[in-house]
């Protein structure tokens, strides 16, 4: 006769083994260097990060300034650490002085491109339509766009942020249709970028859910196919808490990605073994 306690223990073991064999959640951890670093610092950074044991469930992407992309191509050719550009031209080719096309980025081995970072929208007049065309240009060359969307503080306080985020996403959808499901979305509240201020976890959760539901309603993509990163003052102190929020699939990190040690600490904090 089997004791009730033994049965309970067996059931518990069974549940635990199911739980531990469950696939580890993947995070995309992306570094946006903006207009920082030198060639020498870039090489040193890559050397250090390459030494780090990064598990497969932490997809690491670095967005250096354009001139350093060839260094990434040279040093990361057979590495699982990937890289991309911070911007791309909306046009294919031709007389567009100063622009860099998606074809050129593909030549340089870029897997990703940022589209519509708030600094581009605010300082360089990128409208939602321009961002949408840049997104489409990247997709034509099989480069995965990370489309950045976010509201200002005024829009948040005026409770207009849903509307603002929807306008930004709608423009992309209008341009590329269901290919929106091939994009990664980075939710970056403008008021959190470089300020040291982050939204409450409940605000991040609510906004990510809103974006997720919008994506699902647009593209019918499955529950887990949407990829929504959070960006804005992410650092070693807050990354774990934000990672626990539903529909947060990774991070776009500015300031805290400029020192290899800080960036690697963030990766370590996201490892299941935490080491
Ligand atoms: C960014 O610019 O994408 C960003 C998130 O910057 P920071 O982490 O410095 O706020």
In ligand 1, the atom with minimum distance to the C-alpha of 188 is: 5
Helix (H, G, I), strand (E, B) or coil at 185: strand
Task: Judge whether 275 lies within some domain.
Answer: no
User: How many domains are there within the chain?
Assistant: 1
**274 located within any domain:** no
- For the stretch 47-70, pLDDT in tens is 999 999 999 999 999 999 999 999
- Residue 117 is a catalytic residue: yes
Ligand 1 centre and the CA of 94: distance in Å?
32
Determine which helix (DSSP H) or strand (DSSP E) holds 32, and give its type and residue range. Answer: strand 27-32
- Note whether 84 and 65 are within 8 A (CB): no
Residue 47 falls in the annotated catalytic set: no
Q: Whose CA is nearest to atom 6 of ligand 1?
A: 254
At 7 the pLDDT is 54
In a domain, 193, yes or no: yes
Q: Which residues contact 22 (CB under 8 A, 6 or more apart)?
A: none
**What gap in Å lies between CA 145 and CA 159, rounded to an integer?**
28
Return the number of other C-beta atoms located less than 10 Å from residue 56's C-beta.
8
From 126, 188, 208, 212, the catalytic residue? 188
CATH number at residue 49: 3.20.20.70
Q: Which domain holds residue 75?
A: 4-269
Long-range contacts of 53-56 (CB under 8 A, 24+ apart): 54/80, 54/81, 54/267, 55/24, 55/271, 55/272, 56/80
Helix (H) or strand (E) holding 139: helix 128-140
- 87 belongs to a structural domain: yes
104, 115 Cβ separation under 8 angstroms: no
**What pLDDT does residue 272 have?**
85
User: How would you write the pLDDT of the chain (275 residues) with one tens digit per residue?
Assistant: 556 555 544 544 444 444 444 568 899 999 999 999 999 999 999 999 999 999 999 999 999 999 999 999 999 988 999 999 999 999 999 999 999 999 999 999 999 999 999 999 999 999 999 999 999 999 999 999 999 999 999 999 999 999 999 999 999 999 999 899 999 999 999 999 999 999 999 999 999 999 999 999 987 766 656 799 999 999 999 999 999 999 999 999 999 999 999 999 999 999 987 65
Atom of ligand 1 nearest to the CA of 114: 3
Q: Is residue 77 part of a domain?
A: yes
Report if residue 29 sits inside a domain. yes
Instruction: Please tell me the predicted confidence (pLDDT) of residue 78.
Output: 85
Nearest protein Cα to ligand 1, atom 8: 254
The pLDDT assigned to 218 comes to 87
Work out whether strand 27-32 and strand 228-231 pair parallel, antiparallel, or are unpaired.
unpaired
> For residue 17, what pLDDT is reported?
46
Say if 33 falls within a structural domain: yes
Q: What is the rounded distance in angstroms from the CA atom of residue 129 to the CA atom of residue 195? A: 27
Q: What pLDDT, on the 0 to 100 scale, is given for residue 3? A: 61
With 0-12 / 13-18 / 19 or more C-beta atoms within 10 angstroms meaning exposed / middle / buried, residue 217 is exposed
| Alpha carbon of 139 to ligand 1 centroid (Å) | 24
DSSP state of 49: H
Determine the Cα–Cα distance for residues 91 and 69; give it in Å rounded to an integer: 20
What angle, 0 to 180 degrees and rounded to 10, lies between the N-to-C axes of helices 260-270 and 39-51?
Answer: 30
Tokens of 95: 């007389």
Domain assignment present for 24? yes
Closest-CA residue, ligand 1 atom 2, reads 254
CA of 68 relative to ligand 1 center, distance in Å: 19
The model's pLDDT over 81-120, given as tens digits with 9 standing for 90+, comes to 999 999 999 999 999 999 999 999 999 999 999 999 999 9
- Give me the residues paired with residue 184 across strands: 146
* Ligand 1 centre distance from Cα of residue 242 (Å): 15
Pocket of ligand 1 (CB under 6 A): 32, 188, 193-194, 231-234, 252-256
Within 13 Å of residue 75, how many CA atoms lie on the same side as its CB? 20
Q: What is the pLDDT of residue 6?
A: 54
Instruction: Say what the pLDDT of residue 173 is.
Output: 96
Q: Would you give the distance in Å from CA 274 to the centre of its chain?
A: 21
């Amino acid at each position: 006769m089997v004791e009730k306690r033994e049965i309970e223990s067996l059931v518990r073991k069974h549940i635990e083994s199911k739980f531990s064999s469950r696939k580890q959640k993947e995070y995309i951890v992306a570094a946006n260097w903006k207009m920082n670093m030198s060639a020498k610092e870039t090489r040193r950074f890559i050397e250090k990060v390459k030494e780090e044991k990064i598990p497969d469930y932490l997809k690491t992407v670095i967005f250096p300034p354009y001139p350093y992309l060839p260094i990434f191509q040279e040093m990361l050719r057979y590495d699982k650490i990937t890289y991309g550009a911070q911007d791309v031209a909306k046009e294919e080719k031709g007389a567009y002085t100063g622009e860099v096309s998606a074809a050129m980025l593909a030549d340089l081995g870029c897997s990703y491109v940022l589209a519509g970072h708030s600094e581009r929208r605010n300082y360089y007049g990128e409208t939602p339509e321009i961002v949408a065309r840049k997104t489409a240009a990247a997709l034509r060359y099989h480069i995965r766009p990370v489309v950045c969307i976010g509201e200002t503080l005024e829009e948040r306080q005026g409770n207009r942020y849903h509307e603002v985020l929807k306008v930004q996403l709608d423009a992309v959808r209008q341009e590329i249709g269901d290919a929106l499901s091939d994009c990664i979305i980075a939710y970056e509240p403008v008021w959190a970028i470089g300020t040291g201020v982050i939204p409450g976890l409940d605000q991040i959760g609510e906004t990510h859910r809103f974006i997720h539901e919008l994506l699902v309603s647009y593209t019918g993509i499955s529950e887990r196919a949407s990829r929504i990163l959070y960006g804005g003052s992410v650092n070693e102190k807050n990354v774990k808490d934000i990672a626990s929020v539903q529909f947060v699939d990774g991070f776009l990190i500015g300031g805290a990605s400029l020192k290899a040690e800080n960036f690697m600490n963030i990766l370590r904090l996201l490892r299941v073994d935490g080491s």
